[in-house]
A and B are shown apart, each in its own frame.
Chain A
Amino acid sequence: MNTDFSFAVSRRGFLAAAAGAAVSASLGPARAFAGDERQIKVAPGQARLASASSPATAVWAYNGTVPGPTLRLRQRQPVRITVENGLDEDTTVHWHGIRLPNAMDGVPGLTQKPIKPGARFVYEFTPPDAGTFWFHPHANSLVQLGRGLAGALIIEEAEPVALDRDLLWLLQDWRLSSDDQIAGGFGSAMDASMSGRVGNLVTINGMAPGDQNVSAGERVRLRLANASLARMMALRFEGHRPVVVAIDGQPCEPHEPEDGRLVLAPAMRIDIVLDMQGDPGSRHAVIDDFYDGLAYTLTTFAYDKAPPLRAHPLDAPVGLPRNPLPTPDLASAMRQEIVVQGGMMGGGKLAGVGGMMGMGMPGMSGGAAWAINGMSMTGDGHVGMAPQFMLKRGASCHLTMRNETAWWHPMHIHGFSMLVLSRNGAPVSHRQWQDTVLLAPKDVIECAFVADNPGDWMLHCHVADHQMAGLMTVFRVT
């Protein structure tokens, strides 16, 4: 199906060699490249998170900003992105949700050598799908993401969509100490084995949100991306009826979410269309009430006083053009199962990795607090990770994910989008393709995808503490 991959395979040897040599001048006489070229420098920086006048917080930043620059690329247009590492430690960039060649996936040890301090790596791929994606490190993920390294990656549709405005809210969650600096204690045992490092300041596009100015009658596409380490969100738009048009970058059948509540776990994206039908001058809260007893107003829509742009909402359909995803053949699909185990209150499923009931200190010193099918892969990716299962290239895979724990897990598959078939036995409608599927405690979710992209791919929980503490696995497409 996808011709981009064959193109990329031929490049893989070259790139592997380039990554091995300290790439600086070695890329030297650049081949003629017909596509977008971008540069990203990873380095320490400063950000004012609470307000423009608040004290500066020391962060790690892409091109000096938090979040990093929004990369707007074109569907089916090649791009070459040079990443230069100005940190004192290794990094990589993972292009979250993009179906790309394995060597471009940014997992240290598994798909590339890490980018050493002072070195560069050139990522090159052709995004097959239009939609809302994002990028972040896959090395020392908990700390690097927690210090601010994240950016939006928007792949624009070949034909523009009829809307008044296209907005992005890249949501980040920071754990700050009283001196406005990023609190230490990354990887604490309690965070690792419970809900992860949830913070105390949520920002939209790098700043604690003030009002969002809107106009009566306008139609807005709002791209929501949760770049938090661990904070789940459930957004309600008071006085408005959001229509979900895409999940994880993949267009779905437009629908209103259950109870009008958008559940957005770490790494997930949801695109909604909002017809701004409030009265001129009115105000409407956007509330996040995911955690019991901890609801808060994230931001407020503040309507200007101008008369409505139009008397009635736009007639144009809100649906987005579909992406070229291969349809899995369920009849012939290979069945695989992933069982998520461990954590606090875990019922002793993890005897081999610390015995969660009656454990001492799970998750300490890089120890495991979680497992998939009895195996804990800790960290960010490394050489020699044995695949949990194999798939023949082109085969369909019917994947069941079973959460035996008492905690929530957004399970992220690299390299593919999965069609979500059912949740706890009930069919999932609206044609939802996702690269990050949220499992509530005890959930059983069935998904399917076509293994059309060869390589060793990671499948892990995107609560960064959980991933680091063992909630990760690898599968191979041969």
Chain B
Amino acid sequence: MKLTYRLAPLAALIATPLPAVAATINAVMYKNPQCSCCESYASYLEHNGFKVEVKPVNNLSQISSDAGVPADLEGCHTLMVDGYVIDGLVPVEIVKKLLTERPAITGITLAGMPTGAPGMGGEKDGTWTIYAFTKDGKAPTVYATE
């Protein structure tokens, strides 16, 4: 499955001879069928160079847990992109930083649904901490703050 995500942007590059903009980055979003914020977030990503396939699922917390997201750091949806898991409403600059730096981690997460986060609306209050997690049982570490 992960291999597919890695190959997808490459395939897009090859298939597009003269890209007018940067190649799109394919992503798959698993979300609760009844949550609308996630769709706003998907649309935000699409305005920032991503192509998001939205998959409504009823067992999101199971998918997120299977993807390695720590239970106490769950975001409101789970995004699979280029071999990484992005959980929650992580700002796109941080997603792109991850995809550029390519650290040896499973993914990153912004827990909960903070006000002002992409897709949420409202005014940002306070600092958001985006954690990096792995599947080897080690404690999550701070990947970025915003």
Contact = CB atoms under 8 A, between A and B. Distances in A.
Given A188-B65, A190-B76, A358-B114, A200 B35 contact: no
Contacts of B61: 185, 188, 190-191, 197
A195 B62 contact: no
A177 B61 CA distance: 12
B118 to A, nearest CB: 14
Contacts, number: 88
Given A185-B61, A189-B71, A357-B120, A344 B125 contact: no
A360 B111 contact: yes
A357 B111 contact: no
A198 interface: yes
Given A294-B33, A344-B76, A407-B34, A357 B115 contact: yes
Given A190-B60, A231-B58, A358-B114, A344 B35 contact: yes
A361 interface: yes
Contact size range, B: 20 to 34
Contacts of B62: 175, 177, 183, 185, 200
B26 interface: no
B115 A198 contact: no
Given A195-B34, A199-B58, A345-B35, A185 B71 contact: yes
A345 B71 contact: no
Contacts of B34: 194-195, 291-292, 406-408
A294 B58 CA distance: 8
B58 A344 contact: no
A357 B122 contact: yes
B122 A293 contact: no
A345 B114 CA distance: 10
A45 B71 CA distance: 28
Interface string A170-196: 000001010000010100111100110
A364 interface: yes
Interface string B44-58: 000000000000111
A334 B93 CA distance: 56
Contact of A344 (B37, B64, B111, B115): B37
A359 B112 contact: yes
**Which of A292, A357, A360 has the largest number of chain B CB atoms within 10 A?**
A357
A362 B57 CA distance: 21
Contacts of A292: 33-34, 56
Contacts of A364: 72
B82 interface: no
A141 B56 CA distance: 27
A199 B60 CA distance: 10
B59 interface: yes
B109 to A, nearest CB: 12
Interface string A291-324: 1111000000000000000000000000000000
30 contacts: A183-B59, A183-B62, A185-B71, A188-B71, A189-B71, A189-B112, A190-B60, A194-B32, A194-B60, A194-B76, A195-B33, A195-B34, A200-B62, A291-B33, A292-B56, A293-B33, A293-B56, A294-B56, A294-B58, A344-B76, A345-B35, A345-B37, A357-B113, A357-B122, A358-B114, A358-B116, A358-B122, A358-B126, A359-B112, A360-B111
Interface of A: 175, 177, 183, 185, 188-191, 194-195, 197-200, 231, 291-294, 344-345, 357-362, 364, 406-408
* Nearest 9 A/B pairs, CB to CB: A358-B115, A198-B58, A188-B61, A291-B33, A293-B56, A190-B61, A357-B115, A190-B74, A191-B61
